[in-house]
Amino acid sequence: MAKVCPILNKGSRVGGGYSNRTRATQFNPTGSVRKYPNLQKKKIFIAEMNKSITLLISARAIKTINKNGAYATLKKAGLI
């Protein structure tokens, strides 16, 4: 399973590492680091459909569901 949030389509990104030694020297390459989204396994109850589903979604998507409602958010994402 890919580590991607189905609601916000957040996936992994490549970020730069930062070495503490960089502060002491002029140049010290550290290479790239892959950073993953904060995915949580969450059981969501949809009142309009009177059922619950389990999703692997990001923490930001949980906040979006709390703000806009489960049915509206999942319908917009195409999961319902």
Which domains are present in the chain? 13-77 (2.30.170)
pLDDT tens for the chain, 80 residues: list them. Answer: 678 999 999 999 998 877 777 666 666 677 788 999 999 999 999 999 999 999 999 999 999 999 999 999 999 999 88
Contact 35, 12 (CB under 8 A): yes
Q: What's the CA gap between 39 and 36, in Å, rounded?
A: 8
Q: What's the CA gap between 37 and 33, in Å, rounded?
A: 13
Q: What's the CA gap between 46 and 12, in Å, rounded?
A: 28
